[in-house]
Amino acid sequence: MSTQSNHQGLLRFITAGSVDDGKSTLIGRLLYDSKAVLSDQLTALANAKNKRTSGEQIDFSLLTDGLEAEREQGITIDVAYRYFSTARRKFIIADTPGHEQYTRNMVTGASTAHAAIVLVDATRVTVRDGRAELLAQTKRHSAILKLLEIQHVIVAINKMDLVEFSEQRFDEIRTAYTELAAQLGLKDVQYVPVSALRGDNIVHASEAMPWYQGEPLLPLLEALPVQESAPAGDAALRFPVQLVIRQDGAQSDDFRGYAGRVEAGTVRVGQKLRVLPANRDAVVAEVLTPNGSADAAHAGDTVTVRLAEDVDVSRGDMFVAADTAAVAAKKLTADLCWFDDEALNPARKYVLKHTTASVFARVSSVDRVLDVHTLSHETGRHDIRLNDIGAVQLSLQKPIVCDAYGDNPATGAFVLIDEATNHTVAAGMIRAYA
């Protein structure tokens, strides 16, 4: 079979886990061993003033920790994106922070990922009576991966060289994470023992761990199947209007177009649409792309749609198929990841930004809050604090056209903004609506 026919397409993945688990070092080693680092970059890394390795040994974490503060402190603060490819696949990597303070940055990086590598430092896991206890941030990140419905999770048990490549320690940690995955509902989980600094089981199989019979990390990533999350087909159409384009002039050449990104389904010339929440029908007269007119546009395309009828349409409205079951909702059941230092105030109105729409929203009730240490849910609480994950009920001032996050992440996700400070205080995933 040819190399071209073996190509698996683009994979977006992130690194997750607690601070100092070795996420940046693993990504740097992956880039280095897959020949994705230029010679001048290697020279700069060898001479870097903030490297934490001795002699001429490369500090691979500096490949992704680009901010001066990150290099000085030895931690990842912001999300760093890196691009590389092999003969089998193209990759976009998001190296996300492990520190609890920057959980919001991890959520941002994970929101578009197909897969996640969860790193576990084998030296920092406490083992009592043969049972391993994972760090709280490992549990928090894993819970977020479940909320975001990440398709694949690879657990990279790192720093195996510091535990003498112990198969027993690997088995203890794998058992602990398997129990965590079952509690959270993570499905496709694979495990690989690695040493990011040495390169064991990153691109090539490790001679130091002959007891591990599985694939190294890179071949695992190359083989992961990717399912597109946006629904296909005309009936699934979701087209949020971002901009109304007018060309002033004579009535004969007066132009009115609606620009935006097709988030799901297909929009085609001659198709009958419904404009929500106004609930007005219209027919597509023209689909304009950056390359000119087209018969149709599909999920992921950014286009301008012209309608045959003059209909009142503004930014934040949604085009759907006329025979769709889509409705405009004013009440949401959602999961929130809270980002702000100031806790949720149920008495306060927030701005809910969903696709291109912005509406005022109030949290009418807090159903439960996840305790990441025990994975139990606290009930009876009325607030959600920094880095908490909670299930809430929201009441909106105006209706929005949405879907459950599991059906369509693009129209099932939102952020909450504090109008007074303009801070993004939470990211939300819609579970139900009415």
Summarize the confidence of residues 188-199 as an average pLDDT.
Answer: 95
User: Comparing 80-84, 215-219, 289-293, which segment has the lowest mean pLDDT?
Assistant: 80-84
Task: List CB contacts of 74: < 8 A, sequence separation 6 or more.
Answer: 20, 50, 52, 61, 65
Percent of the chain with pLDDT over 90: 61
pLDDT tens string 111-165: 889 999 999 999 999 998 888 999 988 998 999 999 999 999 999 999 999 999 9
- CB contact at 8 A, 328 and 276: yes
pTM reported for the whole predicted model: 0.84
Whether 296 has a pLDDT exceeding 90, the answer reads yes
**Per-residue pLDDT, 152:** 96
Full set of structural domains in the chain with CATH: 3-223 (3.40.50.300), 234-321 (2.40.30.10), 328-433 (2.40.30.10)
pLDDT tens string 44-68: 665 655 555 555 556 666 766 543 3
- Residue among 332, 260, 268 at smallest CA distance from 301: 260
**Per-residue pLDDT, 68:** 39
pLDDT tens string 69-92: 333 444 444 577 888 899 999 999
Q: How far apart are CA 320 and CA 272, in angstroms?
A: 9
Whether 109 has a pLDDT exceeding 70, the answer reads yes
Q: How far apart are CA 284 and CA 270, in angstroms?
A: 5
Strand bridging mode 424-433 / 328-338: antiparallel
